[in-house]
Homo-oligomer: A and B are copies of this chain.
Amino acid sequence: MSTVRSYLRSAKSIVIGLASIATFLILWEAVTRVVNSPFLPGPYSVFLAFIQISTVGDIDGYSLGWHSAVSLYRVLLGFLAGAVTGIPLGLFMGIKLTVKDVATPIIEPIRFIPPIAWIPLSIVLLSGLTRFTFLIWVGVFFPVLLNTIAGVRRTSITLVNVARTFGADNNAVLRHIIFPSALPEIMTGLRVGLGIGWMCIVAAEMIGGDPVGLGRLILKYANFLQIDVVIVGMVTIGLIGLAMNYAILLLEKRMFRWRVEVTT
Contact = CB atoms under 8 A, between A and B. Distances in A.
How many copies of this chain? 2
A12 to B, nearest CB: 7
A1 interface: no
A4 interface: no
B262 A157 contact: yes
Given A21-B106, A123-B39, A125-B35, A261 B116 contact: no
Main secondary structure of the interface of A (DSSP, over half): helix
A130 interface: no
Interface residues of A, number: 100
A13 B114 contact: no
A121 B227 contact: yes
A123 B227 CA distance: 12
Contacts of A191: 146
Interface centre among A102, A143, A198, A240 (most CB of B within 10 A): A143
Contacts of A119: 222
A147 B148 CA distance: 12
A114 B203 CA distance: 8
Given A35-B124, A184-B154, A264-B170, A202 B101 contact: no
